Structure 1
Amino acid sequence: MMNGNGKCRTTRRRPSRFQSRQGWDARRPLASLRTVGKSGVTKKVPRPPRTLRDRLDTLHAAQFELEVSRDRYAHLYDFAPVGYVSLSLVGQIIQLNLTAASMLGRSRAALLKSPFSVCVAKVDVTRFLEHLRRCRGSDAKVVTELSLRQPSGAEVPVQLVSSPLPYSLWPGSTLYQTALTDLTGRKQMEDSLRRSEERLHLALRAARAGALDLDLATGTANWSDGFSDLLGLENRHSLASYETLLASLHPDDRAAAQRILRMVWRRRSNFRAEFRVLHPLKGARWLSLLGRVLRDEDGRPVRLTGIGIDVTERKQAEELLRKASQSLEERVRERTAELRAANVELERQITQRKRLERQLLEVSEHMQRRIGQDLHDGLGQQLTGLRYLNNVLHEKLAQKSLPEADDSERLAQLLEQAKSQVRQLARGLHPVAIIPDGLMTALGQLADSVAQLHRVGCRFDCPKQVFIADNVVATHLFRIAQEAVNNALRHGRARQITLALTANNGTLDLQVQNDGRILPVRRQGEPGLGLQIMKSRSEAMGAVLEVRPLLPGGMLVRCSVPLTKTERLVSGNEKA
């Protein structure tokens, strides 16, 4: 190797741990052994005898393997996941690995020869001393859980497992090899599990429920105190088993419970069942079991886990609701029967009223027709006779040139006016003649008289001739048309009125349309007298009456009559 002055210098190599003081290297065969002098020049060593040389090779090889194993053990010892501490009889730290030093929060050099108790939390020092006492009194393993306190103040929960070291490994004194296992993760899991259990117990207590865990293979069970309270067991620590559960059930429910549970075990995993239990203090109580059946890899049921809930109040509420519902149904049936009877009676009264109204209208029309006929045949004929006699008297007075002839002529005019009034009165009392086309004729005359008397446009449209055999129906339709026209003139102040009569498929349709004002709605929705009369006449015929406004103005009155065979209408060339 070149030095700083550019000259070559000799470097002496440091003997390795496998090289003896005489220069032998256990990793090289003895034939090539060399020794290094003080000048750094390698010299050959005289070859030893063959037998001695083989023995030296074997010894050096064994020494090499031993040192390799020792280094491997030292590495594993220092970096093992578990801390190892060698303690004396009085608890002094004789040896420890790096993991233990890390758990104790100090360096290994500072911990050697120091008492282990200085690393223990104050509350657990007595427990550690008890651990040492047990170690001195037994050759078996001694296990203790305590907390270590680090210089930073942090506490680490650990488990100490101590056992005496063989005397051959440490001659001269008794040591205890102690394994330190960090319990931080386990403690956290235990705390989390404890909090979960506390929340579960609170929830079960609030719901008045209890937990159940049943081993289906052995029949043994494990249930909470809340479940014992549900079953009414005086001794909460009594044997929990499937038989105890069945014995707590109501005798009438045991067979059903066994049948349901066997069916649940065979067919499905989740279940829900409700049974009665005989509580020694509260009597019969309803218990609802909810849970699931756990199965093994072969699908066989092995465990049943779930919760039990006291549903007695719900059952009582359901029973009250059922009774109330049953009572309500009975009352509804009674009221329905009463309403049905009332409806039958009402329908009977309505039918009777309609029949009476129809009869009243028929009687009224008959009386009007009779009065009109009497006026026409009686008073009308008498007026005709008086007019004839007055004409004869007028001729006689005129021949004699008497002044009374003028009075006779005046009397003739009055008689003619009286006869015309009687004719109109008779026609008003009997507007529709008893002939098939009487309705068409009467509606046409009504349109002509309205146009002449009121100076408005009024026409009657009938595209095809309509003949009606029933004069009562024809009279009702005429009266409805007459009332609709009067309302249009009186209230609507109409200037144009159209009457239409059509017949299609056994239905007669009468329409009265005007361009007058829309009639206002009366108070409380009550129709006027004219509309009531029209409705009464339409109901008497079994017809449908429709009264509605038209846009932009006007009103429409429509009456549709379904005619029977006896009232069959004929249009065109046919007659009823």
Structure 2
Amino acid sequence: MTKSELLEALKDLEATRASEKAALEAIVHELHVHQAELEMQNVELRETQQLLEASRERYAQLYDFSPVGYLGFDRAGCVQEVNLAAAALLGTPRLDLIGKPFVHYVAPADRGSFRSHLRQCWSGPSKVNTELRLQAANNLVEIELCSVRPADDGGRDVLCHTAMTDITERRKADRKFKELLEAAPDAMVIANREGEIVLVNAQAEKLFGYTRAELLGQPVEMLLPARYRGKHAGQRTEFFAEPKARPMGARPKLYGLRKDGVEVPVEISLSPLETAEGTLVSAAIRDITERMEAAMALESSHRQLRELSAHLESVREEERTRIARGLHDDLGATFLTIKMALSACLGEISAGLTPGQAGKLREIMDQVDAGMDSVRRIATDLRPSILDTLGVLAAIEWYAQDMERRSGIECEVVTNGSEREWKLEGAHATALFRIVQEALTNVVRHSEATRVCISVGANARGVELRIEDNGKGFVPDRPAARPTWGLVGMSERVAALSGEFSVASAPQHGTTVKVHLPKKPRHGSVQDQDSDG
């Protein structure tokens, strides 16, 4: 090899060595970079591992100290995992439970239910709930098991994870609630938002004639007559939109429907009931058949008493008329005859009488005049003849003038129309006059008034009477020291004629009596009785 060739080869060798050195330096640099990345990944891995261990520690603490018991069952129902709450419920140390069949802690009567629960846990729905009783430390504890079906883990051993909740107190509260429900004197029906009956008591069975099994799960509309059912769904929606207690008597008369198709008058109160399943509505239903019958009997009794009172008043008015007419016609005529005879006698024998004897005869004639005035006054008080001859309006005006003369109280009578327009006669006319008479008597006796106004008029409904004074007034609703028979009498007179009666008063603001008498009284009223005797 020549020298030049050798030199050329040395140059190539140096170039190759330089290139290899650069490549090696690049590789070394890349290794340094990878080393740094690995160190950073190692740091992250250690941090992740620490976080995982902390998380597992927190999970273990949550698992162990959870107030809910947690267990893990294998396919044989043996306990493989258990937390402290579950061990406490079972009354056994946690380590002593591992590997033990859970069924040994279940009350004998409920062991079949647990075995069924376990079978469903492995092959049934994804979630299984069962209520059982545990026999722990000689005490029965009511629990609810909630198990989740385990996922397939490639054939490896898996556990059925189960939450165990102590429901003893809840069940005691439920039993207490049901006892109270059964003890309620009213029928109780509890329904959900959809209107399905979820709970009833024995009184509901008795009232509607269904058994409990026939009612539960059925729509509440089955207990309503057909005419109420169309609107009931909307009313139920309104209640749940704003649930609040609604007392009995707040709604018009209602009826329930018995199994035999008979409608029963009822009163219903509604109350919202908050439960774990959501808001329910509790309906207390009271059969008011006996009350309505009693009310009808009482109303009939009141009607008969009013009719009797009206008849007695009619008889009394007839007797007053007869006595007044007898006093005026018979006793008045007798007094007039005596007066005329005395006058004639005095004229015939006056010449032979001493002054003392003549004075004695004149004194007797004065007494006869006084007797005639008394007869007229008594007859007028019993039944003013003007009432029968000129009508009720003239009688009211005459009585008001007489009362003003005797008491000094200013009495004003204001009328609207004539009696012919009012078509007021018979018992109506008598009642109107007697009410004015009684009201003015009350004004004189109690009101300390200086003025009273009597307004009488007619409208499309009938005759209206208003008696208003400026006296001291009173509190109408306050119990009186003694019965106010005047007001009672006026009210009964008006009620007997199917009218309306009211009294408005206040201390130092006078009293107003208002009376409305219809133009056509109902059949059987005092007017009918007055006309047929």
Q: 1:432 to 1:508 in 2, by over 3 A?
A: farther
* Counterpart for residue 330 of structure 2: 378
* Counterpart for residue 247 of structure 2: none
2:490 to 534, 543, 550: 534
Q: Is residue 346 of structure 2 the alignment partner of residue 394 of structure 1? A: yes
* Counterpart for residue 515 of structure 2: 559
Amino acid at match of 2:31: Y
Amino acid at match of 1:210: G
Q: 1:192 to 1:254 in 2, by over 3 A?
A: closer
Q: Identify which range, 431-440 or 448-457, moves more after superposition.
A: 431-440
Q: Identify which range, 413-422 or 523-532, moves more after superposition.
A: 523-532
- The answer (yes or no) to whether the contact 1:542–1:561 under 8 Å persists in 2 is yes
Shift of 1:478: 2.4
* Counterpart for residue 453 of structure 1: 406
Amino acid at match of 2:443: A
Q: Is residue 489 of structure 2 the alignment partner of residue 489 of structure 1? A: no
Q: In structure 1, how many angstroms separate the alpha carbons of the residues matched to 2:161 and 2:114?
A: 21
Shift of 1:65: 0.9
User: What does the per-residue CA deviation read over 1:145-191, in whole Å, with 9 as the maximum and x for residues that have no partner?
Assistant: xxxxxxxxxxxxxxxxxxxxxxxxxxxxxxxxxx8887456435533
Q: In structure 1, how many angstroms separate the alpha carbons of the residues matched to 2:114 and 2:461?
A: 71
User: What does the per-residue CA deviation read over 1:511-554, in whole Å, with 9 as the maximum and x for residues that have no partner?
Assistant: 11112222467974556443344344444444433222379832
SS of 1:423 mapped into structure 2: helix
SS of 2:184 mapped into structure 1: helix
* Counterpart for residue 144 of structure 2: 287
Q: In structure 2, how many angstroms separate the alpha carbons of the residues matched to 1:261 and 1:453?
A: 107
Q: How does 1:37-48 map to 2 (within 5 A)?
A: 48=6
* Counterpart for residue 31 of structure 2: 73
Shift of 1:321: 1.0
* Counterpart for residue 382 of structure 2: 429
Q: Is residue 389 of structure 2 the alignment partner of residue 443 of structure 1? A: no
Q: 1:284 to 1:189 in 2, by over 3 A?
A: closer
Q: 1:451 to 1:203 in 2, by over 3 A?
A: same
Q: Is residue 366 of structure 2 the alignment partner of residue 510 of structure 1? A: no
Q: 1:516 to 1:55 in 2, by over 3 A?
A: same
SS of 2:447 mapped into structure 1: coil
2:370 to 406, 412, 417: 417
* Counterpart for residue 572 of structure 1: none
Q: 1:552 to 1:406 in 2, by over 3 A?
A: closer
Amino acid at match of 1:61: S
SS of 1:494 mapped into structure 2: coil
Q: In structure 2, how many angstroms separate the alpha carbons of the residues matched to 1:565 and 1:307?
A: 76
How many positions carry a matched residue from both structures?
409
Q: 1:52 to 1:288 in 2, by over 3 A?
A: same
Q: In structure 2, how many angstroms separate the alpha carbons of the residues matched to 1:438 and 1:250?
A: 97
User: What does the per-residue CA deviation read over 1:257-276, in whole Å, with 9 as the maximum and x for residues that have no partner?
Assistant: 999999986xxxxx8x8532
User: What does the per-residue CA deviation read over 1:260-310, in whole Å, with 9 as the maximum and x for residues that have no partner?
Assistant: 999986xxxxx8x8532354556694516499x999xxxxxxx99884423
Q: In structure 1, how many angstroms separate the alpha carbons of the residues matched to 2:353 and 2:10?
A: 206
Q: In structure 1, how many angstroms separate the alpha carbons of the residues matched to 2:117 and 2:325?
A: 92
Q: 1:200 to 1:543 in 2, by over 3 A?
A: farther
* Counterpart for residue 503 of structure 2: 547
Amino acid at match of 1:547: V
- The answer (yes or no) to whether the contact 2:447–2:473 under 8 Å persists in 1 is yes
User: What does the per-residue CA deviation read over 1:6-61, in whole Å, with 9 as the maximum and x for residues that have no partner?
Assistant: xxxxxxxxxxxxxxxxxxxxxxxxxxxxxxxxxxxxxxx98844445434433332
Q: In structure 2, how many angstroms separate the alpha carbons of the residues matched to 1:377 and 1:263?
A: 110
Q: TM-score, normalised by structure 1?
A: 0.56
Q: 1:356 to 1:222 in 2, by over 3 A?
A: farther
Q: In structure 1, how many angstroms separate the alpha carbons of the residues matched to 2:475 and 2:147?
A: 69
Amino acid at match of 1:72: E
* Counterpart for residue 320 of structure 1: 176
Q: In structure 2, how many angstroms separate the alpha carbons of the residues matched to 1:471 and 1:305?
A: 94
Shift of 1:449: 0.6
SS of 1:419 mapped into structure 2: helix
Q: In structure 2, how many angstroms separate the alpha carbons of the residues matched to 1:263 and 1:180?
A: 46
Q: In structure 2, how many angstroms separate the alpha carbons of the residues matched to 1:473 and 1:317?
A: 66
Q: 1:373 to 1:435 in 2, by over 3 A?
A: closer
SS of 2:464 mapped into structure 1: strand
- The answer (yes or no) to whether the contact 1:434–1:471 under 8 Å persists in 2 is no
Shift of 1:425: 0.7
- The answer (yes or no) to whether the contact 2:456–2:463 under 8 Å persists in 1 is yes
Q: How does 1:72-151 map to 2 (within 5 A)?
A: 72-77=30-35, 80-81=38-39
Shift of 1:498: 1.0
Shift of 1:328: 0.6
* Counterpart for residue 464 of structure 1: 417
- The answer (yes or no) to whether the contact 2:472–2:510 under 8 Å persists in 1 is yes
Relative contact order higher in (CA < 8 Å, ≥ 6 apart): 2
Q: In structure 1, how many angstroms separate the alpha carbons of the residues matched to 2:123 and 2:381?
A: 94
- The answer (yes or no) to whether the contact 1:506–1:568 under 8 Å persists in 2 is no
Amino acid at match of 1:319: R
Amino acid at match of 1:555: T
User: What does the per-residue CA deviation read over 1:361-403, in whole Å, with 9 as the maximum and x for residues that have no partner?
Assistant: 3443343333323322332222232233233323323577776
Identical aligned pairs, as a percentage? 19
Q: Is residue 166 of structure 2 the alignment partner of residue 310 of structure 1? A: yes
1:190 to 24, 41, 53: 53
Q: In structure 2, how many angstroms separate the alpha carbons of the residues matched to 1:540 and 1:258?
A: 81
Long gaps (5+) in structure 1: 1-44, 84-178, 266-270, 296-302, 570-576
SS of 1:462 mapped into structure 2: strand
SS of 2:472 mapped into structure 1: coil
* Counterpart for residue 277 of structure 1: 132
User: What does the per-residue CA deviation read over 1:478-524, in whole Å, with 9 as the maximum and x for residues that have no partner?
Assistant: 23222222232333222221111122233332111112222467974
Q: In structure 1, how many angstroms separate the alpha carbons of the residues matched to 2:350 and 2:122?
A: 130
Shift of 1:334: 8.3
Q: Is residue 321 of structure 2 the alignment partner of residue 369 of structure 1? A: yes
Amino acid at match of 1:276: E
Amino acid at match of 2:515: C
1:60 to 18, 31, 34: 18
Shift of 1:237: 3.6
Between Structure 1 and Structure 2, whose CA radius of gyration is higher? Answer: 1
Q: 1:314 to 1:348 in 2, by over 3 A?
A: farther
Shift of 1:443: 0.9
Q: Identify which range, 501-510 or 428-437, moves more after superposition.
A: 428-437
- The answer (yes or no) to whether the contact 2:147–2:160 under 8 Å persists in 1 is no
Q: In structure 2, how many angstroms separate the alpha carbons of the residues matched to 1:391 and 1:260?
A: 129
Shift of 1:463: 0.9
* Counterpart for residue 479 of structure 1: 434
Q: 1:468 to 1:410 in 2, by over 3 A?
A: farther
- The answer (yes or no) to whether the contact 1:436–1:468 under 8 Å persists in 2 is no
Amino acid at match of 2:144: L
* Counterpart for residue 100 of structure 1: none
- The answer (yes or no) to whether the contact 1:212–1:223 under 8 Å persists in 2 is yes
